[in-house]
């Protein structure tokens, strides 16, 4: 995969009920230099949250950028994904 997809809001239970395929649940509050060492420095992160009403993706992007990590925001989040008719994954 050319990027890591991060679901950056909500609880583990919410993530398990519905998330984008291939996503990892990592709340923006849990992002730290130590935690992000799991991935090479050049790894591109794509972050998303609940939808356009949610600022979690913005907060995560700012945190990752501050840590010197490449990051993009997936606009629309879960709401946009659902509006396009795409399938969700379940489980952790």
pLDDT of residue 1: 63
Q: Determine the average pLDDT of the residues in 44-66.
A: 96
Q: Which domains does the chain have, with CATH numbers?
A: 4-84 (3.40.250.10)
Tokens matching residue 71: 């990051």
pLDDT > 90? residue 92: no
d(CA 33, CA 4): 16
Global confidence as pTM? 0.93
Q: Which residue has the tokens 């629309």?
A: 76
- Please, what is the average pLDDT of the chain? 95
């Amino acid at each position: 995969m050319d990027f890591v997809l991060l679901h950056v809001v909500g609880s583990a239970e919410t993530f398990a009920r519905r998330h984008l395929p291939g996503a990892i649940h990592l709340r923006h509050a849990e992002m730290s230099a130590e935690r992000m060492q799991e991935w090479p420095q050049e790894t591109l992160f794509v972050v998303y949250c609940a939808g356009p009403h949610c600022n979690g993706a913005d907060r995560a992007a700012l945190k990752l950028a501050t840590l010197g990590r490449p990051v993009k925001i997936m606009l629309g989040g879960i709401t946009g994904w659902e509006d396009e008719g795409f399938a969700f994954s379940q489980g952790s």
